[in-house]
Structure 1
Amino acid sequence: MLHQFLVLFFLCFNVVAHLFTSSALGEVITCSNIVPLKNRRYNISLTDFGGVGDGRTLNTKAFGEAIYQIQHMGREGGALLYIPPGVYLTESFNLTSRMTLYLAPGAVIKATQVTHNWPLVAPLPSYGRGRELPGGRYMSFIHGDGVNDVVITGENGTIDGQGDIWWNMWRKRTLQFTRPSLLELVNSTNIIISNVILINSPFWNLHPVYCSNVVVRFVTILAPHDSPNTDGIDPDSSSNVCIEDSYISTGDDLVAVKSGWDEYGIAYGRPSSDITIRRVNGTTPFSGIAVGSETSGGVENVLAEHINLCNMGVGIHIKTDSGRGGLIKNITVSDVYIENARKGIKISGDVGGHPDDKFDPKALPIVKDITIKNVRGVKVLQAGLIQGLRNAPFTDICLSGINFLGVKGTTRSPWKCSDVFGSSHQVSPWPCSELTSNQPGSCANHSQV
C-alpha cells in the first residue's frame, strides 16, 4: 500500500516540484529550533524487556516495562527506547517524559485488533463528550498525557493502527464510544515527531491537544480515502506548533486546526495560536489545509505556505458554524498549488454538527483578517465559495494573486459569496462583488511576490 501511495504522490506533484525546491524558495526556512533535539543519557531496546517482532507475539508488557524503567531513571538526560526491525504487535500504551521512541528501518509498531478491552479515557473538557458519541472515548494507540520532552523518530519506521476493524464498526454503527486516535498528546510540551510513517489510524492520526512547542517534520501519514474521519494532523487548543516537510493522504482533512466544540470549547477558552504549516503535500476527498470546524476556543496566527494539493475535495477550507462562538483571525495561506479539486477555496459559516442541544445558537463566530495569496490551481471545478453569517459577516478577507483553471471542455462555476466583506487583487476568475472593494488595507498591499 505504501508503494501505491508514493507512486500517486510522484504522479501528482512532479509537474510542480520545481516551484517548491530550495532554489525557488531561496534559503529553506524551518522551525526545528522550536524544540531542540536532545541526546539521551541512556539507550535501551525493546528486546531487553522481552519484545518479539514476529507480528504475532503481544508486546504490551514489554512496552510497559521499558517505559516504566525510563520513567524511573531520573531527570538527567532521559532515555531512548530503540525498536529494532520487526513487527511488534501491542495494545495501546502510554509515553513518559524525557524519552525518545526510536524506530529502526523496518520497525513496525502495530496495534492489536482486539478492541473489547481497549482502555477508555475521559472526554476532553473542550469537547464535553467523545467527538463521535456521548461519554468517554477510547484511548489513542500511543498516548501521552502531561508529558514533557518527548521525541518520536527514527529511520522511517511505521506505526500501524490497523484501523479497518474500527472503520467497519463506524460503518455498521456498532461503536460504543469514540474511536481512538493513532497518536494523541494531551497537556504536553516540547514534542518532536519526525521521520516516521503513520498508517491506518482508527480515527484522527496525530492529535496534539492542549499542547505547546510541538514540531512535526518529515512525517508520512497514509490511510485509504474511504476511511472515515482519518484526519492527518489536528493541532487542537495548542500553541507554537510547526508542521512541515510531510506527505499526507487520508480519508479526511490533511491538516485541521481546531480549538474545542461549542459551549464546551467556549467555556474551556483555550485557543490554537501560532501554528505554522509549510511544505506539506497531500491528497484527500475532503480538505487540504483547514481551520475548523471545531473552533470555539478561537484560532489565531496561522501561517500555511508552500503547499501542494492533488485530487482534493476543497483545497483551502476555513469552516465554522452558528453556536461555535470563537474568534478566527490572522490566517494566512500562501504559495499553494492545487490540482483536480471540487473547490479551490471555501470559507463557510454553516459546517459541522453540535455535541448536544445545550449550545447557544446566538454564539456566533467572528471571522476576520484572512489572507489567501499566490495560489495556482488547475482542473478546479469551482474557484471559491465564501459564505459568512447574516449577523456575523466575515470581514477583511483578502484574495491576492490567485489563478484557477477549470477542466478543459467544461464551464467553471463562478465564485459564490454572501455576508462577507473584503478585497481582491489579481484574481482569476474574477471574484464576486463583495470581494472587489478597494477598502483601506486592501489586497493591493498584499500583491504577489
Structure 2
Amino acid sequence: MHCFDYSILLCIGVILLLSINCANAELETCSWIVPMRYRYDKISITDFGGVGDGVTLNTKAFRAAIYRIEHLRRRGGTLLYIPPGEYLTGPFNLTSHMTLYLARGAVIKATMDTEQWPLVAPLPSYGRGRERPGGRYMSFIHGDGLHDVIISGENGTIDGQGGVWWNMWRQRTLKFTRPNLIELMNSRGVIISNLIFKNSPFWNIHPVYCSNVVIRYVTILAPADSPNTDGIDPDSSSHVCIEDSFISTGDDLIAVKSGWDEYGIAYGLPSHGITIRRVTGSSPFAGIAVGSETSGGVEDVLAEHINLFNMGVGIHLKTNIGRGGVIRNITVSDVYIEDARKGIKISGDVGDHPDEYYNRNALQLLRML
C-alpha cells in the first residue's frame, strides 16, 4: 500500500515538473536584456500647454516638456504622461532617462504639414537618403546618443498619418526620403512596449547603431498598399529582442539591416544578437527578412514561434551585387505560414544602389544555418 502511494506521488511529481517546464518554455523571453524601470518623477504634457483636441498643434508643448526632463536630471529619470485625447504635433526628439507614456485613449498624431518636418543628415552607413539623394526628413519621434529610454503605455496610439507621404511617393514628388515613425540612433537600454503604431510615412520602428533594445507587446498597422512601411528594422544594432507582437503593414514585417553598399561596408557595423519570438502578422512582402541592405553583415539571428498569413514571402534573405558583408548563423524554427506565394526565398538581385560607385565585385557571403 505504501509503495502504491509513493508511486502516485512520484507520478504527480513528474507531471508537475513537466507542467512547470512547459510553462517556462511558453514564457521564454529575451526582455531581461533591458529591465523595466519605474519612474518616480512624473510630469504631464498638459503641464506644458498640451491640448488633446486633435486640432491644436502641440509641437512646442512636447519639446518644452522633454527639455524640462533633460535639464531636471532627476534621479531615476522622469515620465512624460500623455492623458487621453488626440495630440497633434510635429516631430520631436527624446532624451535620456525618460519614459514617454501614453494612457489608454491617448493618441499622438503626426502633423500632415510636411513643412513642419526638419531635414537631418543621411545615415553614414547609407551615404544618402534611402529614397532620394541628400538628407532625409527627421523621424516623427527621434533620438540620438540616448540611454535608458522607454516608450510605453496602456495601448495608446502613435499615428504617423502617412497618407500624404505615400501619395508623394506614388506621384514621385518627394524631395527627400520620407520620415520613419520612430528612429533611435546610437542608443542603448531602450524599451518600446504596449503601444499601437499606425500609418507610418516610411519604416515604423528603426533602431540604428543601437544596443540592448526590447520591443514587445506592440501592434503595428498600415494598409497593405502603403509603400515601404516596414514594421521593425533593426539596423547595425546588437542585442535586440522583438517579442509578442502583431504586425500588418505594406512591406516586410521585420527586416534586419546593416547599411547600404560601399557606405555600409566602410561603416562596418553588423547587426547581431537579434531575437524574434512570438510575432504574428500579414504583409504582401516578407514576414521575416534579412536585407537587402546588409553591407555591414548580419550574424546570430533567431526567429521562432512565428505565425504568418496572407504573405508574399514567409522568410526572405535578400542581397545584391555591391552589398558585401557576411550573413551567418540565421536560425528559424516553429514558423507557421498560411496563404503565401513562397515560404522561404533567397534572392541575389533585390534592391537598388545609393550611387554608381558601389563595388560590383563586393558579393555577400552567406553562411546561414
**TM bracket, shorter-chain basis:** over 0.9
After superposition, what is the alpha-carbon deviation per residue over 1:171-223, rounded to whole angstroms, capped at 9, x for unaligned? 00000000000000000010000000000000000000000000000000000
Aligned-pair Cα RMSD in Å: 1.1
Matched, 1:128 2:123: no
SS of the aligned residue for 1:168 comes to helix
SS of the aligned residue for 1:64 comes to helix
Q: Distance in 2 between matches of 1:137 and 1:352?
A: 19
Q: Distance in 2 between matches of 1:351 and 1:360?
A: 16
SS of the aligned residue for 2:116 comes to coil
Overall identity of the aligned pairs, in %? 76
- Structure 1 25/305 Cα, relative in aligned 2: closer, same or farther at 3 Å? farther
Equivalent positions of 1:165-204 (< 5 A) are 165-204=164-203
After superposition, what is the alpha-carbon deviation per residue over 1:225-247, rounded to whole angstroms, capped at 9, x for unaligned? 00000000000000000000000
Instruction: Show the counterpart of 1:430.
Output: none
Equivalent positions of 1:213-362 (< 5 A) are 213-362=212-361
How far is 1:31 from its partner? 1.2
Q: Is the 8 A contact 2:275 2:302 kept in 1?
A: yes
Q: Distance in 1 between matches of 2:186 and 2:60?
A: 25
How far is 1:41 from its partner? 3.1
Q: Distance in 1 between matches of 2:201 and 2:94?
A: 19
How far is 1:368 from its partner? 1.0
Instruction: Show the counterpart of 1:45.
Output: 44
Higher relative contact order (CA 8 A, sep 6+): 2
After superposition, what is the alpha-carbon deviation per residue over 1:15-37, rounded to whole angstroms, capped at 9, x for unaligned? xxxxxxx9688442011111111
Instruction: Show the counterpart of 2:14.
Output: none
Matched, 1:65 2:68: no
Q: Is the 8 A contact 2:90 2:116 kept in 1?
A: no
Runs of 4+ deviating beyond 6 Å: none
TM-score, normalised via structure 2 length = 0.93
Equivalent positions of 1:72-111 (< 5 A) are 72-74=71-73, 76-111=75-110
Letter in 2 for 1:334: S
How far is 1:117 from its partner? 3.4
Q: Distance in 2 between matches of 1:131 and 1:202?
A: 13
TM-score, normalised via structure 1 length = 0.77
Q: Is the 8 A contact 2:237 2:272 kept in 1?
A: yes
Q: Distance in 2 between matches of 1:132 and 1:25?
A: 44
Q: Distance in 2 between matches of 1:110 and 1:38?
A: 26
Q: Distance in 2 between matches of 1:187 and 1:235?
A: 12
SS of the aligned residue for 2:368 comes to strand
SS of the aligned residue for 2:345 comes to strand
How far is 1:39 from its partner? 1.6
How far is 1:40 from its partner? 1.4
Q: Distance in 2 between matches of 1:231 and 1:210?
A: 18
How far is 1:356 from its partner? 0.6
How many residue pairs end up in the alignment?
349
Q: Is the 8 A contact 2:82 2:101 kept in 1?
A: yes
Q: Distance in 1 between matches of 2:224 and 2:260?
A: 25
Q: Distance in 1 between matches of 2:222 and 2:24?
A: 30
Letter in 2 for 1:72: H
SS of the aligned residue for 2:283 comes to strand
Instruction: Show the counterpart of 2:149.
Output: 150
Letter in 2 for 1:260: G
After superposition, what is the alpha-carbon deviation per residue over 1:292-342, rounded to whole angstroms, capped at 9, x for unaligned? 000000000000000000000000001111110000000001000000000
- Structure 1 75/366 Cα, relative in aligned 2: closer, same or farther at 3 Å? farther
After superposition, what is the alpha-carbon deviation per residue over 1:85-132, rounded to whole angstroms, capped at 9, x for unaligned? 000000000000000000000000000000023100000000000000
Q: Distance in 2 between matches of 1:359 and 1:324?
A: 8
